Amino acid sequence: MRKIQEEAPERLTAQGAVHDVIIIGAGFSGICAGYHLLKRGCSNFVILEQEDGVGGTWFKNRYPGAACDVPSHFYCFSFSPNPDWSHVYSPQPEIQAYLEKCVQDFNLATHIRLNTTVSSLTFDEDTGLWTVQAEEGQHSTLRAKHVVVGSGGLNTPSVPVFPGLDEFQGEAFHTANWQSDIPLADKNTVVIGSAASAVQAVPELAKVARKLTMFQRTPNYIIPRDDRAYLDKEREKFRHSPLKLRMQRFKFYLRFEYVLSPLFKKNSWIRNRIEKKVKRYIRQSINDPELAQKLVPTYELGCKRILISDDFFPALNRENVEVNTDGIDRIEKDAVIDGCGRRIEADVIVLATGFDLHKQMISIEMIGRNGVSLNARWEKEASAYKGCMVDGFPNVYFVTGPNTGVGSTSVVHMIEAQMHFIMQCIDLAADQKLIEPTNAAVQADNQKTQKDLENTVWAGSCHSWYKDENGRIHTLYPHAARRFRKERRRLRRQDFLITQRKKNRETADVT
Ligand code: NAP
């Protein structure tokens, strides 16, 4: 395996230092990339993070109740297991602290530039380098041989247009922009949205609100989370037995892989049985039969994300909580007017309305070979070879690109598999070469993925963020995690175009 050469810091070109790798985002993806580069002996890289701290989604999503919905022992790096998780599903502050500790443990802090927002990437044919424009208080231009895009998919809040929202005189904010200094006790709180974020926030908000009204547009399948605190003696065992710690992770991996994954196949008889059970569970959990009816989904289980919670239904049974399914007509200065003209007084509006994947995807202007814009290309259809690379955009790697969401595993597990693939590409191209998939390989990979997705429950008629506006699934991968990993274990050389970086004066300077 050839390694990227260490570069002396004084080797600067007229336009500044050339980094071997620029990583965008300091969440799970960026930290994972940094760890692997250092492990390979490459230290000439920088991680650009737009926020004021590391953690990515876990830095931003600090709403009350925020926690992972994959067991923590499986929602962490395999190369950095944590024996000290407090709960099966640990809360946001612990995940944030875990990621901060990873940065320390892996010696990544000096590589990270916070408050740095990347606006564009442009490929320079003459040098074979990428020019990265970033804002960090002032404008800066960086250059790199390789770029790893680890900025995630679910981080641009979606704020739908509600007439009158601008005139609302109370406080209104999105779950991903939580305003922890705003008092919520004894307030009339309106939550718009009823999916993953709302299901976690509502039980906490309901405890302190005078009245909480949750606007639900579509009901969700919600199953018990069965969360619990780990006992001291269990944590002690994990601390002293690396094998036990590994087995704990493996147990969850197997459960996701062999129990959850089959549910997503089209026409699964197991799913039909479970669907009936979940509907029964919802009816039994809600005191008011009329409300229960509104909470039972009418689409197939799994078509939208299956949610887990132990405290959401008990919260909906509270006296001070109401579920409104009449839609929102408009917002006035101190109230939300529903679709039936009812006035719901509001001091605070919490937008649990999810994320704008499309906006996120095109948030960085990327110009590849021959001046081609990736945004323009993805405007028609977002696709990439293994969800990671696009022809005409050499040495650029998306960690969570199109169709990389393995619906039945931990996203961290998926990121590690993708990183294995990315590191092989970086090793292969190293200093002197450019690597990109052939157009034929991108097309074939995409066609196969789309065809296989037809056999999944996600292709059903429900509306979900898994699909783009044309109904094409551009987020999810159609199979289980083991296949995702297998497909990324070794590079198929025939799928790639590997060319020599042109040697001109500037690149000769740095390579
Ligand atoms: P989401 O799943 O996209 O849900 C958004 C909610 O807002 C839905 O209930 C949606 O209704 C509603 N909504 C959107 N636009 C609306 C409008 N114009 N009027 C009324 N209602 C509207 O977003 P999310 O709950 O933030 O979750 C997004 C994803 O983030 C999850 O699927 C998950 O992958 C991730 N997440 C993970 C965790 C975790 O524990 N690890 C926690 C939170 C989120 P419809 O269903 O009708 O569209």
Strands 222-223 and 307-308: parallel
Contact between 271 and 457 under an 8 Å Cβ cutoff? The reply is: yes
Q: How far is residue 339's CA from residue 343's CA, in Å, rounded to a whole number?
A: 10
Contact between 266 and 456 under an 8 Å Cβ cutoff? The reply is: yes
Rounded to the nearest angstrom, the distance between the alpha carbon of 158 and the centre of ligand 1 is 9
Beta-carbon contacts of 414 under 8 Å, excluding residues fewer than 6 positions away, are: 400, 404, 405, 406, 481, 484
Q: How far is residue 294's CA from residue 291's CA, in Å, rounded to a whole number?
A: 5
Nearest Cα neighbor of 48 from 159, 135, 107, 130 is 135
pLDDT at 510: 35
| Tens-digit pLDDT string for the chain (511 aa) | 344 444 433 344 445 689 999 999 999 999 999 999 999 999 999 999 999 999 999 999 999 999 999 999 999 999 999 999 999 999 999 999 999 999 999 999 999 999 999 999 999 999 999 999 999 878 899 999 999 999 998 889 999 999 999 999 999 999 999 999 999 999 999 999 999 999 999 999 999 999 999 999 999 999 999 999 999 999 999 999 999 999 999 999 999 999 998 899 998 889 999 999 999 999 999 999 999 999 999 999 999 999 999 999 999 999 999 999 999 999 999 999 999 999 999 999 999 999 998 888 888 999 999 999 999 999 889 999 999 999 999 999 999 999 999 999 999 999 999 999 999 999 999 889 999 999 999 999 999 999 999 999 999 989 999 999 899 999 999 999 999 999 999 999 999 999 998 765 444 333 3
The residue whose CA is least distant from atom 2 of ligand 1 is 195
pLDDT at 237: 97
AA letter at 502:
K
Q: How far is residue 178's CA from residue 161's CA, in Å, rounded to a whole number?
A: 19
Give the number of the atom of ligand 1 that is nearest the alpha carbon of residue 198: 25
**b/e string for 443-454 if b means 16 or more Cβ within 10 A?**
eebbeebbeebe
The residue whose CA is least distant from atom 26 of ligand 1 is 354
Phi/psi-derived region of residue 16, left when phi > 0, alpha when psi is between -120 and 50, beta in every other case: left
Q: In what order do the strands lie in the sheet with 335-338?
A: 328-332, 335-338, 343-345
**b/e string for 388-408 if b means 16 or more Cβ within 10 A?**
bbbbbbbbbbbbbbbbbbbbb
Nearest Cα neighbor of 475 from 297, 304, 221 is 304
Mutate to test the pocket of ligand 1, among 61, 154, 311, 328 (most ligand atoms within 8 A of CB): 154
Rounded to the nearest angstrom, the distance between the alpha carbon of 49 and the centre of ligand 1 is 24
Residues with CB under 6 A from ligand 1: 67-69, 154, 160, 175, 192-198, 200, 215, 217-218, 305, 352-355, 463, 465
- In terms of C-beta density within 10 A (0-12 exposed, 13-18 middle, 19 or more buried), how is residue 479 classed? buried
Give the number of the atom of ligand 1 that is nearest the alpha carbon of residue 69: 40
Strands 405-406 and 328-332: unpaired
Q: How far is residue 155's CA from residue 28's CA, in Å, rounded to a whole number?
A: 13
Rounded to the nearest angstrom, the distance between the alpha carbon of 197 and the centre of ligand 1 is 6
Give the number of the atom of ligand 1 that is nearest the alpha carbon of residue 67: 40
Beta-carbon contacts of 67 under 8 Å, excluding residues fewer than 6 positions away, are: 87, 89, 90, 91, 92, 95, 200
Two tokens at 218?
């579509």
Q: How far is residue 363's CA from residue 318's CA, in Å, rounded to a whole number?
A: 41
| Token pair 């783009």 in the structure block, residue | 468
The pTM for the full model equals 0.94
Rounded to the nearest angstrom, the distance between the alpha carbon of 258 and the centre of ligand 1 is 26
Rounded to the nearest angstrom, the distance between the alpha carbon of 174 and the centre of ligand 1 is 11
